[in-house]
Structure 1
Amino acid sequence: MKKAIGLALLPLGVLVAACSSTSSSGSYSTATTAAGNATSTPITLSLLKTKSYGEVLGSSTGQVYYMLTADSSNKSTCYSACATAWPPVQATTKVAAGVSSSLVSKITRTGGSSQLEYAGHPLYTFSSDVSQNATNGEGVYAFGGYWYVLSASGQPIKTAVSTSPSTTAASYY
């Protein structure tokens, strides 16, 4: 159901983002151009606590970052409409505690802008994530691949964290 809602909202996010020269989500400070090229607004790569997926990579302002399975190390495949719906994250040198600076790098996108990469995954935001720590793009299939949030180790998180209480058999005598 969540994936269906995310996919249903995707065209709306593309339309809204395409109608302006810059794109922002909620109170986030990271800006991108209409073509989806990253800008130079400084950000800090951080770990965010999410309700469904535990700690994931994102910005210090609460914007969750995603990877695309169609990408490869040092190469983004997300341009045009894709980059409008999934804006690339600008390269940064600020890294918060818990994030491994040895896994942080940047790639040069077609057109010359820099994009943040973590553990070989170019990073993106999702235009339909309009609240802090939102993960509406998790598990969505769009633009040739699946979109996943990343753990601190750089691994994609493909399943939600169990929030149900553990059931331990109790014996009463």
Structure 2
Amino acid sequence: MLLRSRIARTAIALTSLAALAACGEKEAGSAAPAAAPAVDQPSPTVSAAATPEQNPEVVEAPVTPLPKPTVAKTQRRVQIYSGPSNVSLSPAPDQGRGSNIVQLNGTASADIGTYAADGKGMTLYRFDKDTAKPSKSNCNGDCAETWPPLLIRSPGQIYPSGINPQLVGYVERADGTCQVTIAGWPVYLFSKDTRPGDIKGQGVGGTWFAINPTGGRTKPLPEVVDMPTTAAAR
């Protein structure tokens, strides 16, 4: 009877130690999840002669983290970074004065060359009636309804990709909002562009052009030449 009691106490102690060890691994941050009790499923064994079909191995390519961007330039309370963010960005809601986080991307186009786009992929334009030195927007009122300025709210952050951060800044508009600039040129969206990559504003009025990463005009859209049909040619 005494022997049976000692055996029972020993079994309870060993069970408690095993439980503490498992909790300790979990607390220490072990990547291995706790194993579920096996039910009619013996642990698989790997034979040295097993074929790839019998024992497929999943090899994941290493993920190279993006370099952490650094502040390349500061304009008052707006920080302009050396490149795109290496983490997901969550800008505060735009309440009519712009977002506190703006992304700029150099985007290639076979039709007009490389142009600047915002973080959603929408084309950014420049207006020939604005000035770059000094930076000034001359598009207000109804003009700004058709061509909404890209605004940055202070304090804010701008993350350019494919655009020299030293060329990026902002200018204060007549209504007190701050408009993003590239090489001094205020940049705008076009209200008739509805999808990323749309360039419906290119060449409008001979004064609106998608802006390139150095602040210049992109090239005009290629002319579409209507070829006569065979019937018309006869």
TM range (shorter): 0.5 to 0.7
Q: State the Cα RMSD in Å.
A: 2.4
Instruction: Describe the superposition over 1:19-62 as per-residue Cα deviations: whole angstroms up to 9, x where unpaired.
Output: xxxxxxxxxxx9584xxxx4225220111233421321011211
Task: For residue 126 of structure 1, give the secondary structure of its aligned residue in structure 2.
Answer: coil
Task: For residue 78 of structure 1, give the secondary structure of its aligned residue in structure 2.
Answer: coil
Match of 1:121 in 2: 185
Q: Which residue of the other structure, out of 79, 93, 99, is the alignment partner of 2:140?
A: 79
Instruction: Describe the superposition over 1:100-128 as per-residue Cα deviations: whole angstroms up to 9, x where unpaired.
Output: 10111110011211000111110000000
What are the ranges of 5 or more consecutive residues in structure 1 without an aligned counterpart?
1-29, 163-173
> Is 1:108 the equivalent of 2:172?
yes
* Whole-Å separation in 2 of the counterparts to 1:69 and 1:134: 20
Match of 2:125 in 1: 66
TM-score, normalised with respect to structure 1? 0.65
* Whole-Å separation in 2 of the counterparts to 1:117 and 1:127: 19
* Whole-Å separation in 1 of the counterparts to 2:195 and 2:95: 17
TM-score, normalised with respect to structure 2? 0.49
Give the C-alpha shift of residue 154 in structure 1: 1.7
Q: Which moved more, 1:88-97 or 1:101-110?
A: 88-97
Q: RCO (CA 8 Å, sep 6+): is it higher in 1 or 2?
A: 1
* Whole-Å separation in 2 of the counterparts to 1:118 and 1:75: 12
Q: Which residue of the other structure, out of 135, 156, 165, is the alignment partner of 2:199?
A: 135
- CA 1:48 to 1:31, structure 2 compared with 1: closer, same or farther past 3 Å? farther
Task: For residue 46 of structure 1, give the secondary structure of its aligned residue in structure 2.
Answer: strand
- On the 8 A contact 1:139/1:158 being kept in 2, the answer is no
* Whole-Å separation in 2 of the counterparts to 1:67 and 1:111: 19
Q: Which residue of the other structure, out of 209, 212, 216, is the alignment partner of 1:148?
A: 209
Match of 1:96 in 2: 160
* Whole-Å separation in 1 of the counterparts to 2:203 and 2:107: 18
* Whole-Å separation in 2 of the counterparts to 1:135 and 1:84: 17
* Whole-Å separation in 1 of the counterparts to 2:191 and 2:95: 11
- CA 1:154 to 1:161, structure 2 compared with 1: closer, same or farther past 3 Å? farther
* Whole-Å separation in 2 of the counterparts to 1:138 and 1:60: 19
Aligned residue pairs, count? 127
